[in-house]
Structure 1
Amino acid sequence: MGEMYTVKQGDFLSKIAAKFGFANAMTIWDDPQNAKLKKERKNPNVLFPGDVLFIPDKKQKQESGPTEQRIRFELKGSKVMLRLVLEDAFNKPIANAPCELAVEGETHKLVSDGKGKIEKEIPKSAEKATLVIKDPKTPVNDQIIPILIGHLNPVDKLSGQKARLNNLGYFAGPLDKEDENLFRSAVEEFQCEHMGKAAVDGKCGPKTQAKLLEVHGC
């Protein structure tokens, strides 16, 4: 029979699947009743508050085994991969930098790779994290960087555009406040640096959205 679920801010498919007891999130995403949403949202882990997702009934799976013998079952998929790319104000990677990632009460010591990327498996239930770069050579050494997990909205939404621009260092303003001049200025700067001067119009249309996805990574 299943049920309908309305997406809330901070939700993403893997988190929703874990909430309903699904080890494989694609079981939900690939259900025929989610075909329309699947077509609209290309990335199942970048949903928008108000999206409606169909949650199918879970199917029982039977396994056979010898009697009078202990059988171990392992539940997979309790974690999700967090990926971050660290760059300086000139869009240069902060490479090989020691970092401390704090999430759900645990602190993990990591080192960015040659392209400034760090990866860490975290619980699907995680909603917030903080990152501290421990490299005296960088201007952001010892600064606490807050991370909201699952709060990135689709790129065709204004909040999603502003979040990506902010993440890339083009200050488009707070997500909960509108400042058309600030947003337009950020878009123009992004277009100039990544699309060429001829493309600068200050509007975040389909071509700019596509480039924003490409540069941001998601």
Structure 2
Amino acid sequence: MAKYRVKQGDYLPKIAKQHGFADYLTIWDHPNNAELKNKRKNPNVLYPGDLLFIPDQEEKVESGATEQRHRFVVKGPTLMLRIVFKTIDDQPIANEDCELQVDGRVYSLTTDEDGMIEQRIPSTAEAGRLIFKNSEISFDWIPIKIGHLDPIEEVSGWQARLNNLGYYFGPIDGKLSEYLREAVEEFQCDYFKDPMQVDGECGSKTQAKLKKIHGC
């Protein structure tokens, strides 16, 4: 059994694939990873420095008649990528044709009524970009980083989610700043009715709301 220290951009299906496991749950459900599983909850949202135990692989034996051809198929895991696009006034960018490029693969998609696209991508994907075909949309293409979202408990996790939601445009560096505080306060103004909860502090209630609105 080996130990693996998580790096930025890692997520469990990718780590599992790199270590020869078709199913990431073999690692995630191992008793030695129970503490990390309880802490992080989502195997796709890990934090640099997290320690994973990688179990030894178990040999599987399949029987088959001699002097015959046998075909064995190993199904590789995939990830479901979901992204919702909205305008600055929180309206969905619905029914728009776009092109998703991920690790050299190209997918032609259309946003649904909620502005969402869904696409299965390779479990080792690292980056991509999305191009809207409508010339009236103000941005030409959007970069996508896969596996770079930090847990909501981390400052960098707040920054990334607030950035994706259009509240924060500073660096994702895990550092507190007045600019970040103002972004948190603006988010609270939009989602908390009680003015006493609008304090610019990203405590547990704000983290929970931010995670819910962001989707993960």
Matched residue, 2:208: 210
User: Mapping of 1:3-82 within 5 angstroms?
Assistant: 3-82=2-81
CA distance in 1, matches of 2:46, 2:130: 24
Alpha-carbon spacing, 1:179–1:37, altered in 2? closer, same or farther (3 Å): closer
List gaps (5 residues or longer) in structure 1: none
- The TM-score, its normalising length taken from structure 1, stands at 0.93
- The TM-score, its normalising length taken from structure 2, stands at 0.94
**Residue range with higher mean Cα deviation, 104-113 or 23-32:** 104-113
Alpha-carbon spacing, 1:178–1:33, altered in 2? closer, same or farther (3 Å): closer
List gaps (5 residues or longer) in structure 2: none
- The 8 Å contact of residues 101 and 107 in structure 1, kept in 2 or not, is answered as yes
Could you list the per-position Cα deviations for residues 141-177 of structure 1 after superposition, in whole angstroms to 9, with x for gaps in the alignment? Answer: xx12111110000000000110000001111511137
| Secondary structure of 1:95's aligned partner | coil
**Residue range with higher mean Cα deviation, 62-71 or 30-39:** 62-71
CA distance in 2, matches of 1:46, 1:22: 19
Shift of residue 197 of structure 1? 4.6
Identity across the alignment (%)? 54
| Secondary structure of 2:210's aligned partner | helix
Q: 1:159 aligns with which of 144, 156, 159?
A: 156
Amino acid at match of 1:200: V
User: Mapping of 1:47-196 within 5 angstroms?
Assistant: 47-140=46-139, 143-176=140-173, 178=175, 180-196=177-193
CA distance in 2, matches of 1:31, 1:178: 34
Paired residues, what number?
Answer: 215
CA distance in 1, matches of 2:11, 2:174: 24
- The 8 Å contact of residues 156 and 175 in structure 2, kept in 1 or not, is answered as no
